[in-house]
Amino acid sequence: MAIADVKEYTHLSTEEVEQLGRELDAIRAEIEESRGAADAAYINKMIRMQRGLAFAGRVTLFASHKKPAWAAGAAMLGAAKILENMEIGHNVMHGQWDWMNDPEIHSSNWEWDTAQPAEQWKHSHNYVHHQFTNVLGHDNDIGYGILRMAREQKWHPVNLGQPVYNALLAGLFQWGVSLHDLDLEAIRKGRKDPKEMKRQLKQIVRKGRNQILKDYVVYPALSGKNWKTTLTANATANVTRNIWSYMIIFCGHFPDGAMHFTEEELEDETRAEWYLRQMLGSANFEGSRLTHVMAGSLGYQIEHHLFPDLPSNRYPEIAVKVRALCDKYDIPYTTGPLYRQYGQTLRTIMKLSLPNKMTSDDSPEPPSPSIDRGRKTDAERPTRRTETGAYMRRATS
Amino acid sequence: MSVTVLPFVWSAGGELVKARVTQCALSRICGMCSRPLGRPVAFVGTPLEVGRNAFHCPPLHAACVGELRALPYADPTWEVVTTSGFEYVRPNREDADQRPTFQPNSLL
């Protein structure tokens, strides 16, 4: 199914789709032109807050034998990890703040407080997920290679265990994500360059070892006789971050209304069609400003997918305009309270553990009757690219 | 027999490979060596590209520019600009040139 066939917008003429694209371009241009000191102050404030929380949490845990100190320390450390991963690390690595020309707050230099090496995240997330958003067979974020998340995916008896796999994925999320760019399916099918796999594995082992050393050896040791309670507090902070980031990320593409695509080749999309696929494949959630900040602004997942490299603090104002455009063009704008979005995601995980014939489809009806806009035939499309990850090519003469 | 490492984003014939251009843009890797970019980011382009601040060649390490210039299909008119950040702009349907462009947003 090509984006041009998606019934949610086939009521639009080609010219209307392009006009929508131009209106989204104008939103982008407006933010780029007004980007400046206030935005820089925002990210610097977030970093100061995050470091303050982390410092206070670590210091408090020196007294972790006292239950209030344990709870306060774990909470502050967990909040610091969430803030670092979600609102700071994820967005910095998208290049949202590169324009500041800050040597530290730059997509090339940021290394985040989680097990996956930044370099691999920038491939698996920034490229594979953001370019091939919700395209089955391309976007490895659809179930992270573990869960069946779309009815178009073939059911297998192993899917019966999805509720268990889901719980494990949530609790161990940073470790699951750390293996994400290895592309286990490519390894299984023998498509992965062995040298590249070895290089990536080395990076993962080094990063994972440092994460373990930091939270489970060095800081507990600094707590002296309280090492055991500091270790459990650190583990609690990590698990809290894991579950929160898992929930936020799954709410971005799996509530009812967020679509999946099955087109094999999307390189021939126009910019407007690319915008549309991002809008139809993503879902927002509603919440307080604090909730949005702690979610890395991914409550504005639609806006994030439209403009992944614009500063995250501008998403709320962008969202007002994008929603108005969706109303104008009669395109779905999927959003709802966080509990409902996650509830729908969880229900999908449970339902898709069973074969399709045993469950019903929860996709909402498209908003308008469709018209035939025509589409390219397979013969008109370029061949599918298969390479993943960085690799070197050599020529002999 | 000699073995030459080919630049990541160019085909053996010297054409930019569109899928890899996108990969360089989003993964933030160098179009020459395919390793993560540093700061500053370098772009090469003709005087026209420099003038309009929109480049077709993907971002590069400053250190990789010399190696690229030595390739047989390197354009002798290429100039180098450096920037901290850039926008990746996909083509519109009506654009005569259907290649994406890179627009530096913080020239150094």
Adjacent-strand bridge partners of A320 = none
Pairing of strands B3-6, B41-45: unpaired
Residue B3 lies in a domain: no
pLDDT at B11 over 70: yes
Q: Does residue A198 belong to any structural domain of this protein?
A: yes
Q: By residue range, what is the domain housing residue B58?
A: 18-104
Query: For residue B5, which residues of chain A lie inside 8 Å, CB to CB?
Result: 392-394
Residue B12 inside a domain? The answer is no
In a domain, B6, yes or no: no
Whether A397 is in a domain gets the answer no
**Residues above pLDDT 90, as percent of chain A:** 75
Report the C-alpha gap between A388 and A122 in whole angstroms. 13
A319 within domain boundaries: yes
Least confidently predicted of A120-124, A214-218, A369-373: A369-373
Closest partner residue to A108 among B8, B28, B108, by Cβ? B28
Low-confidence winner among A1-5, A129-133, A219-223 (lowest mean pLDDT): A1-5
Q: What is the mean pLDDT of chain A?
A: 89
Between chains, do A108 and B37 touch, taking CB under 8 Å as contact?
A: yes
The amino acid at residue A152 is E
Contact of A336 with A255, CB cutoff 8 Å: yes
Nearest Cβ partner for A274 among B27, B28, B90: B90
pLDDT digits (tens, 9 = 90+) for A190-199: 888 899 999 9
Number of domains comprising chain A? 1
Mutation to test the B interface, candidates A31, A126, A309, most B Cβ within 10 Å:
A309
What pLDDT does B14 receive? 85
Instruction: Test B91 with A270 for CB contact under 8 angstroms.
Output: yes
Bridge partners (DSSP) of residue B29 are: B36
Nearest to B28 among A21, A107, A394 (CB): A107
* pLDDT tens figures, B24-64: 999 999 999 999 999 999 999 999 999 999 999 999 999 99
ipTM score for this prediction: 0.90
A67-83 and A37-60 helices, crossing angle to 10°: 150
Q: Mind telling me how many Å the CA of B47 is from chain A's nearest CA?
A: 23
Q: CB contact, 8 Å: B99 with chain A?
A: no
What residues in A contact B3, CB-CB < 8 Å?
394-396
* Residue A302, pLDDT above cutoff 80: yes
- In the structure, what pLDDT confidence band is assigned to residue A391 with cuts at 50, 70 and 90? very low
Q: Is the pLDDT of residue A298 over 60?
A: yes
Give me the percent of chain A exceeding a pLDDT of 70: 89
Number of compact structural domains in chain B: 1
State yes or no: pLDDT of A348 exceeds 80. yes
B19: which chain A residues are within 8 Å (Cβ-Cβ)? Answer: 267, 385
Indicate whether A155 pLDDT > 60.
Answer: yes
Q: Cβ–Cβ of A267/B38 closer than 8 Å?
A: no
- How would you class A220 by CB atoms within 10 Å of its CB: exposed for 0-12, middle for 13-18, buried for 19 or more? buried
Give domain status of residue A190, yes or no: yes
- State the CB neighbour count (10 A cutoff) for residue A162: 22
- Read off the pLDDT band of B4 (50, 70, 90): low
A53 within a domain of the structure (yes/no):
yes
Amino acid at A330: D
Average pLDDT over residues A237-259: 96
Please tell me whether the peptide bond between B72 and the residue prior to it is cis, using omega within 30 degrees of 0.
no
Whether the CB-CB separation of B42 and B81 falls below 8 Å is answered with yes
Of A200-209, A293-302, A360-369, minimum mean pLDDT range = A360-369
